[in-house]
Structure 1
């Protein structure tokens, strides 16, 4: 049995959950690699990645390379003498990096591969109305999320679950999968399975402003999945137009109510405490939202200070 000396690579909160589990299970972490600090938010204040914050807290050796192919970084990586690298939500690695440790480099991906390869698997599983998803560990190769699979764990997706809620559950499930994978590698008991591309392979495209915008001409259930699949981040959005006023509005907590009606898709219906948007087969009831320049608020708070006309439209 070979004692593991691990280099961990990751950036966001999701990766921190996995790194913490490895740390608490007393594996030797000889180095942590994360993204360089960068300006964020309105004030462009320089911020550290969630993984960097954790590594500093635990006094772990930290590397923040800007270029993964630079000789300076590669020499420093070699000097750590790792025999295994674990990657969670980082970036594509050059071959010289993932081939470096003798036990290989494995990645944890938040989907049941080969489905939802790509940048945003948690979001797209919900947006597409999937009833199940999971996590997969696999050895990295020269393409994105295509390597030989080590193990996977499956879970149901609740019909009203948001991306944020699923993120937290998959972080725990992923922690279990990584610890089981480490045990297999440590004992030399790994048996991999090649990914089989049967039927339609769905892709977890990178999220951008365009694919986060709501299309009110779709069915209510599709719109509802879109909103919860982007909640709380980066959030689905829509324009709301009332006379000469037009706002770019983010929607968060919502419900879909199926119903027959004669309203135009996208029409706003409001009372003193409730805001609904008509779809072709019902209504999206909006419970929380955010107007530009304002904080996220409950709908009833917004309606205390604003009155919409009967001709207000979301589009």
Structure 2
């Protein structure tokens, strides 16, 4: 099928590779323009941009899809369908309507749960037992279109946003060519409208919500740490210094009478609103990720210290 692909981050790459491997005629790849990144703030091409060039595909990087020139250029490609995966721009109706069969989107949740920008993070943070991937026909509404195909996966107690991201990206790639076949065969009538019940919105992750509130239960803190891994990373003030907490283990069976945030052992066990949380990996500013033993050798945190508070500007 004659396709346009629209995507930007790592999550979109497996789907682009799957479409290319299936022999579809990808007439253009749309991705976000190169952005300054890294310590040197040099312009970096997106993950999709790099892979598209590797595959010898034509790349477009418009700043906006809302201009008349963008509409004209997109329509001139005369594509049968556009496949959209985490592109990074809201598409206007003129773009949605331009391909013969419209635009389809690979979305990382079981719609209508977790419409929006951060479905993987929110599913883990909410304690969902499962999530999945839906391929839907796009509409003007935010992730409201009918679902063509879907697949589910359990969320394990060890899953982080990083592990679930990679699994769902591969699942989307595994579904996409079947969805394209349905479109080519004229079987889009099988698309299921989303139910009105069960709608939730996965708002974009705000760095301000990454500070750990130790008055929450140990289970809630564990989900927060896993859901915010690797970016932006859950954090707390430890001995006056901001430290990322990147891995740990919740223990809801241990009772205590300590204040929330108090360190109740010499091995980084922290009292929570209910239960305790055993910190296993942490990262100081400007340092590498360390296991707790390595961390404590260079930055002792004694039993009785209380996590939280303000950064010590004298440090």
TM-score, normalised with respect to structure 2: 0.93
Q: Is the 8 A contact 1:270 1:308 kept in 2?
A: no
Q: Where does residue 276 of structure 1 map in the other structure?
A: 269
Q: Where does residue 155 of structure 1 map in the other structure?
A: 153
Q: Distance in 1 between matches of 2:45 and 2:263?
A: 41
Q: Where does residue 192 of structure 1 map in the other structure?
A: 191
The secondary structure found in structure 2 opposite 1:268 is coil
Instruction: Give how far 1:312 is off.
Output: 2.2
Instruction: Give how far 1:78 is off.
Output: 2.5
The secondary structure found in structure 1 opposite 2:171 is helix
Instruction: Give how far 1:268 is off.
Output: 2.2
Q: Distance in 2 between matches of 1:112 and 1:59?
A: 33
The secondary structure found in structure 1 opposite 2:286 is coil
2:241 maps to which of 226, 238, 247:
247
Instruction: Give how far 1:217 is off.
Output: 0.6
**What do the CA deviations read for 1:81-112 (whole angstroms, capped 9, x no partner)?**
21100000112101111110011101111001
Q: Distance in 1 between matches of 2:133 and 2:299?
A: 44
Instruction: Give how far 1:277 is off.
Output: 1.5
Q: Distance in 1 between matches of 2:173 and 2:46?
A: 19
**What do the CA deviations read for 1:115-139 (whole angstroms, capped 9, x no partner)?**
1001010110010000011111111
Instruction: Give how far 1:37 is off.
Output: 0.7
TM-score, normalised with respect to structure 1: 0.93
Does 1:31 find its partner at 2:25? no
The 10-residue stretch of structure 1 (36-45 or 173-182) with the greater mean CA deviation from structure 2: 36-45
2:57 maps to which of 53, 57, 60:
60
Q: Distance in 2 between matches of 1:50 and 1:278?
A: 41
Instruction: Give how far 1:270 is off.
Output: 4.9
Q: Where does residue 303 of structure 1 map in the other structure?
A: 296
Give the unaligned 5+ runs of structure 2: 309-315
Q: Where does residue 206 of structure 1 map in the other structure?
A: 204
The secondary structure found in structure 2 opposite 1:287 is strand
Structure 1 runs (4+) deviating above 3 angstroms are none
Q: Distance in 2 between matches of 1:176 and 1:307?
A: 47
Q: How does 1:1-315 map to 2 (within 5 A)?
A: 4-90=1-87, 91-190=89-188, 191-198=190-197, 200-240=198-238, 242=239, 246-258=240-252, 259-271=254-266, 274-315=267-308
Instruction: Give how far 1:48 is off.
Output: 1.2
Q: Distance in 2 between matches of 1:223 and 1:308?
A: 20
Q: Is the 8 A contact 2:268 2:301 kept in 1?
A: no
Q: Distance in 2 between matches of 1:173 and 1:202?
A: 22
Q: Is the 8 A contact 1:131 1:159 kept in 2?
A: no
Q: Is the 8 A contact 2:245 2:281 kept in 1?
A: yes
Q: Distance in 1 between matches of 2:283 and 2:265?
A: 16
RMSD: 1.5
Instruction: Give how far 1:233 is off.
Output: 2.2
Give the unaligned 5+ runs of structure 1: none
Q: Is the 8 A contact 2:226 2:246 kept in 1?
A: yes
Instruction: Give how far 1:269 is off.
Output: 4.0
Q: Is the 8 A contact 2:11 2:86 kept in 1?
A: yes
Q: Distance in 2 between matches of 1:263 and 1:204?
A: 34
Give the number of equivalent residue pairs: 305
